[in-house]
Structure 1
Amino acid sequence: MRSLPYLICLLLLVAAMFSCDGGRKRIAHEATIQQPNIIILMSDDQGWGDLSLSGNKNLQTPNIDLLATKGVQFTQFYVSPVCSPTRAEFLTGRYHPRCGVYSTSEGGERINLDETTIAQIFKKAGYATAAFGKWHNGMQYPYHPNGRGFDEFYGFCSGHWGNYFSPLLEHNGKLVKGNGFIADDLTEKAISFIEGNKNKPFFLYVPYNTPHSPMQVPDRWWNAFKDKPLKMRADDPEAEDTDFTRAALAMCENLDWNVGRILSKLKEVNLEQNTIVVYLSDNGPNGWRWNGGMKGRKGSTDEGGIRSPLIIRWPAAIKAGTQIEQIAAAIDLFPTLADLAGIPYHTEKPLDGISLKPLLLNQTHSPDERLLFAHWDGRVSVRKGQYRLDDQGKLYDIKNDPGQEKDISDSQPEIANQLTTAVESWKGEMLKNISVDNRPLPVGHAGFPYTQLPARDGKAHGRIVRSNKYPNSSFFTNWKSPDDRLTWEVEVLTTGDYQVEIYYTCPEKDVGSTLQVSFGQDRIEGKITQAQEPKLIGKENDRVERMESYEQEFIPMKMGSIHLEKGRGYITLQALHIPGSQVMDFRLLMLTKVN
């Protein structure tokens, strides 16, 4: 039996620990160490070389650099050549062709509904979940982020957005107006989420939409770059648009500032130690600029098109300042994060990714024998160890030749043949009928009140044209005849009544067209009675000329309520009467279930 003085001393020690702020923190830390918070920060079109961490002397990214200094940096980490496939691979842990993702727009960006996402796994484990930013894996629920495991969503579901200053966005399906520069706004939402969930585990995904074009960035960042000499250039300087590069780098410095704000918030609320922070990009750079001498840019399956930074910081468990040279990919993040958090992640469909936990915790260092495939638009390359077989069947030693200048197929025939066979097998398994898409747009899911049917997902008939060849942030114009119409192939999931709104512009002289929305035998009519001048916006904020569509200030018009019967068919929008020279410019049809 313990002596009385010993018991008294023990009680005094315990009391001192609970009365001491540091003691409380230690006890809280020990209690939560098995359930870390997760934050994934994903940039958009930022190349591996767009960080001072990578050796780029054109910019400074101190917060992201410090994240690497205090965490682990993967030097050979790979994503897909473009946006939506990378997001799908991160969310599912599976190669994007398996998930139904074959395009970046018009429905081809959607993850199949029978796939399990990482957010669903963490939500099931009791985590609060949120995504703030560019989703790009499906708009109509249950393809929507709220249908894929995220309690909170703020941002946009499209592939790119045409206005970065207080644009029209959505919050859990409801359209809202953004507040200021979009990257700053998304960060504010992330900070608020951290504050609101600091006493329980959370899973936070922040897919920024910069430095994707259009190249818009606040003066504070642009002024530091607009006249700045570029110390490091693209391998072919004549191919580089220096103003585009300056704008991209200005946006990257803004991203770094916002990353710093999130990290500061974690420290402020005492969550820094037990929060896993992940930073990566979704593909290679969106222009020819310095990228470490690697071949290729966004859209390419070569090294420069798919190598991304990957930084993982977890002070409670991961040794600071570590570099990992083994190859890894976006498909690995699902099993890795679940494994680190101690969450079972057995899914109905096998994962292509593997858990990197042993590497991160220095538990093992096995030879690099795995194969990592990269695909886009029918082109496939594969990486094994230090070698890459490109989409033309040429073999390169990436360790010594990142620019892929010397084909070594003849000197390494065994490796070349092995990888060629592997690519053909992968294509046969993954790419058969990849773009055959029989998935209609779901309307009226019982668990969600809103359905957006944007111009992006519609089909124009007659003389109506799209405002730009890139559909994502486009609108329809040149609507001049009763024979013109717009259609969406849909499946109504719930029979019921739906409020109909259209977002449009129309000059004063053309006000008065009568519109009809129909689905099967059900229809509703409405008349345009309010003018909204179709003025293009965006150019005033662009630092360089854009490729995508300009925007307009579209306004909503309530048409009333339509009854929709459950089933598959086409929702049609047409004009019955046109008193002026045109009907309208059209951006969006919104359906809201009427309780």
Structure 2
Amino acid sequence: MFKIFLIVLPGTYVAAAQPPNVVVILADDQGWGDLSLSGNTNLSTPHIDSLAADGAQFDRFYVSPVCSPTRAEFLTGRYHQRGGVYGTSAGAERLDLDEETIGDTFKAAGYRTAAFGKWHNGMQYPYHPNGRGFDEFYGFCSGHWGDYFSPMLEYNGKIVKGDGFVVDDFTNRAIGFIEKSGHKPFFILLPYNTPHSPMQVPDVFWKRFKNKEISMRHRNPERENGLHLRAALAMCENIDWNVGRILDTLDELDLVENTIVMYFSDNGPNGARWNGGMRGMKGSVDEGGVRSPLLIRWPAGIKPGTEVKTLSAVIDLFPTLAEMASVPLTSKKQLDGISLAPLLSDTAGGRNLAGRLAGRKIFSAWRNHSSVRTPRYRLTQSGKRNALYDMIADPGQYRDVSAEHPELHAELSQELRDWMSAMRQDLGKETRPFLIGHPGMAWTQLPSRDAIPVGNIERSNRFPNDSFFTNWTSTGDRIVWDAEVEEAGEFEVRIYYTCDPANVGSILELSFGESTLSGQVTKAYGSDLLGAEQDRSPRMESYVQDWTPMTLGKIKLPAGPGKLTLKATEIPGNEVMDFRLLTLKRL
């Protein structure tokens, strides 16, 4: 039972019967300009826009150039390199296990916690959301998904089938969680996976844009892809509709007053479209690649129409939400972010913090590209470019002013080099195996994404996240995971596959150290490549199949590191199977 306490913003005291609920909505590849709030007349996003009218809007808010780093920084309040995140797939997206997350913190404070959507910071427990403070998880842990209409998903580690368009489905789950909240406060992370490609969206939204005249254009209109652009706008309007459903639910349950609703995106737009004339898009460290909307509504603590001009970043959101909810920060690691809560009240505390942040610097990096943003300038180091831009006089970054400000250029260049050196040192080298058999979760998933193919086996696409293995034709072929069994035990093994009738009968062998398991493929299961029929624009990612599970058998695994290897010892046909996923269930 929660006691009466005070929700404190500096200079403001609001009596509350219980802590505020929190709903964090995170879009995927939606640029700053993909909202009508930003001035884009190509689309309408009234529900998202209403969060600014009824709460606060941050003018200069920055995230990372791509997905998993932004998510890691939100979860920890620390730059993503410090948590071991250096890529978007095949293990590089995993957040180090010694990092305390916002889920851990709110759960420890008595909140019911849940995440519904795209996780993208590790799949195998305890990298899994259920191991990072979230009681309930429904969605997928990869960086992108190949089909958005009733695809294979997971619920707390168990493979399930989705129900309809994924963003609608994730929203339904969040609404159900809110409706069952009772009197206990909830913390919901709702990380949508759109408008990330593949460009799929329900007909009702696509029809609005299929033949729509686009009036506001990218700064280089010749770079626009008409189908991709229209699909992205349609997906953004679908997001807005789902945000409206969340807001309506809070209203119907009389939870509006004491629920914090936060909305932002994980990077710049995933294509050339209007973005306020800024330079760069997803993957870029320039303004257009890292500037995101940030909107926060909390009627009990934020005055409607509040505008925050101070530079802010995704690393600030963890400490900000913790202070707003009076949740203690217990992490032993130093946060890079700071609480922006004082800026949300027109008080001396807020004005003092704004003054202290007048010279703040925010750093961004992706691969070998990096930049630093001050309230007036941005220095970008990308390839041979080491340019300084005056963001007030030249917000589109057209003109390098390094020659006019040589001392400032030298100073910021050195600070950026020092920061990058510190980040590389914190990141270290990748030595983490894929963890399996942890006693904290019944199921372990080992997708083709995380495996190494040996021999003739080919990956269905160069982007691993939702790929599968094909061309498995020889007994010398292998599928290998660099693994570590967390606790010895007996496990039931399942394989998700497709197999033509002519190829039924292969004998499979799974081995780990001296432990082996053999089983036969006895059932044909065919599937066309799926996804193209729903794509509004040609995709780069792998198509998928309608995978079916087969139980291979039971295997006893010893604790410790090793190579988990799947091979075929007999192949009566031309090919073994197309392989998508192996799961282990602790018995």
What is the TM-score when the length of structure 1 is the normalising length? 0.94
C-alpha displacement at 1:393, in angstroms? 2.3
Q: Which residue of 2 aligns with 1:248?
A: 232
Contact 1:276/1:313 (CA < 8 Å) preserved in 2? yes
Contact 1:214/1:542 (CA < 8 Å) preserved in 2? yes
Contact 2:83/2:427 (CA < 8 Å) preserved in 1? no
Contact 2:268/2:288 (CA < 8 Å) preserved in 1? yes
For residue 439 of structure 2, what is the amino acid of its counterpart?
Answer: A
For residue 389 of structure 1, what is the amino acid of its counterpart?
Answer: L
Q: Which residue of 1 aligns with 2:149?
A: 165
| Distance across 2 between alignment mates of 1:592 and 1:348 | 34
Q: Which residue of 2 aligns with 1:387?
A: 377
C-alpha displacement at 1:402, in angstroms? 1.8
List aligned pairs for 1:442-453, cutoff 5 A: 442-453=435-446
Contact 1:183/1:258 (CA < 8 Å) preserved in 2? yes
Establish whether residue 570 from structure 1 lines up as the match of residue 560 from structure 2. no
Contact 1:502/1:588 (CA < 8 Å) preserved in 2? yes
Q: Which residue of 2 aligns with 1:116?
A: 100
Q: Which residue of 2 aligns with 1:525?
A: 518
For residue 400 of structure 1, what is the amino acid of its counterpart?
Answer: A
State the secondary structure of the residue aligned to 1:259. Answer: helix
C-alpha displacement at 1:30, in angstroms? 4.3
Contact 1:534/1:585 (CA < 8 Å) preserved in 2? no
**Structure 1 segments of 4+ aligned residues over 4 angstroms from their partners:** none
C-alpha displacement at 1:435, in angstroms? 6.5
Q: What are structure 2's unaligned runs of at least 5 residues?
A: 1-13
Q: Which of 514, 529, 536 is equivalent to 1:543?
A: 536
Once the two structures are overlaid, the 10-residue window that deviates more, 72-81 or 532-541, is: 532-541
| Distance across 2 between alignment mates of 1:411 and 1:198 | 61
State the secondary structure of the residue aligned to 1:222. Answer: helix
| Distance across 1 between alignment mates of 2:395 and 2:103 | 35
Cα distance change on mapping 1:262 and 1:563 into 2, 3 Å: same
Establish whether residue 340 from structure 1 lines up as the match of residue 324 from structure 2. yes
For residue 324 of structure 2, what is the amino acid of its counterpart?
Answer: L
Q: Which of 568, 584, 593 is equivalent to 2:586?
A: 593
Cα distance change on mapping 1:458 and 1:242 into 2, 3 Å: same
| Distance across 1 between alignment mates of 2:217 and 2:488 | 58
C-alpha displacement at 1:147, in angstroms? 0.1
Q: Which residue of 1 aligns with 2:57?
A: 73
State the secondary structure of the residue aligned to 2:582. Answer: strand
C-alpha displacement at 1:347, in angstroms? 1.4
Q: Which residue of 2 aligns with 1:139?
A: 123
Aligned length: 565
C-alpha displacement at 1:346, in angstroms? 3.7
Contact 1:198/1:269 (CA < 8 Å) preserved in 2? no
Q: Which of 361, 369, 376 is equivalent to 2:366?
A: 376
Q: Which of 478, 494, 500 is equivalent to 2:487?
A: 494
Establish whether residue 319 from structure 1 lines up as the match of residue 295 from structure 2. no
Q: Which residue of 1 aligns with 2:17?
A: 32
C-alpha displacement at 1:199, in angstroms? 1.6
C-alpha displacement at 1:434, in angstroms? 3.8
Q: Which residue of 1 aligns with 2:335?
A: 351
Q: Which residue of 1 aligns with 2:8?
A: none
Q: Which of 205, 208, 213 is equivalent to 1:221?
A: 205
C-alpha displacement at 1:158, in angstroms? 0.4
List aligned pairs for 1:122-521, cutoff 5 A: 122-362=106-346, 363-364=350-351, 365-366=354-355, 367-391=357-381, 392-432=385-425, 434=427, 436-521=429-514
For residue 402 of structure 1, what is the amino acid of its counterpart?
Answer: P
Establish whether residue 55 from structure 1 lines up as the match of residue 39 from structure 2. yes
C-alpha displacement at 1:415, in angstroms? 2.2
C-alpha displacement at 1:532, in angstroms? 1.1
Contact 1:102/1:435 (CA < 8 Å) preserved in 2? no
Contact 1:478/1:585 (CA < 8 Å) preserved in 2? yes
For residue 386 of structure 1, what is the amino acid of its counterpart?
Answer: R
C-alpha displacement at 1:587, in angstroms? 0.2
Contact 1:284/1:305 (CA < 8 Å) preserved in 2? yes
Contact 1:378/1:431 (CA < 8 Å) preserved in 2? no
CA shift digits 1:350-408 (9 cap, x unpaired): 00000001101233231521111001012110001121101232111112212111111
State the secondary structure of the residue aligned to 1:359. Answer: helix
C-alpha displacement at 1:446, in angstroms? 1.2
For residue 176 of structure 1, what is the amino acid of its counterpart?
Answer: V
State the secondary structure of the residue aligned to 1:390. Answer: strand
State the secondary structure of the residue aligned to 1:393. Answer: strand
| Distance across 2 between alignment mates of 1:88 and 1:378 | 19
Contact 1:42/1:208 (CA < 8 Å) preserved in 2? yes
Q: Percent identity?
A: 58
State the secondary structure of the residue aligned to 2:386. Answer: coil
CA shift digits 1:399-458 (9 cap, x unpaired): 221211111112222322221111011011111484721001111111111100000000
Once the two structures are overlaid, the 10-residue window that deviates more, 364-373 or 127-136, is: 364-373
State the secondary structure of the residue aligned to 2:228. Answer: helix
| Distance across 1 between alignment mates of 2:142 and 2:129 | 12
State the secondary structure of the residue aligned to 1:263. Answer: helix
State the secondary structure of the residue aligned to 2:533. Answer: helix
Contact 2:105/2:330 (CA < 8 Å) preserved in 1? no
Contact 1:505/1:533 (CA < 8 Å) preserved in 2? yes
For residue 514 of structure 1, what is the amino acid of its counterpart?
Answer: I
Contact 1:86/1:96 (CA < 8 Å) preserved in 2? yes
Contact 2:508/2:566 (CA < 8 Å) preserved in 1? yes
Contact 2:63/2:314 (CA < 8 Å) preserved in 1? yes
For residue 274 of structure 2, what is the amino acid of its counterpart?
Answer: W
For residue 372 of structure 2, what is the amino acid of its counterpart?
Answer: V
Contact 2:82/2:426 (CA < 8 Å) preserved in 1? no
Contact 1:464/1:477 (CA < 8 Å) preserved in 2? yes
| Distance across 1 between alignment mates of 2:187 and 2:408 | 41
Establish whether residue 43 from structure 1 lines up as the match of residue 36 from structure 2. no
| Distance across 1 between alignment mates of 2:448 and 2:369 | 29
Q: What are structure 1's unaligned runs of at least 5 residues?
A: 1-28
| Distance across 1 between alignment mates of 2:345 and 2:305 | 13
| Distance across 2 between alignment mates of 1:273 and 1:400 | 40
Q: Which residue of 2 aligns with 1:8?
A: none
| Distance across 2 between alignment mates of 1:424 and 1:31 | 47
State the secondary structure of the residue aligned to 2:134. Answer: coil
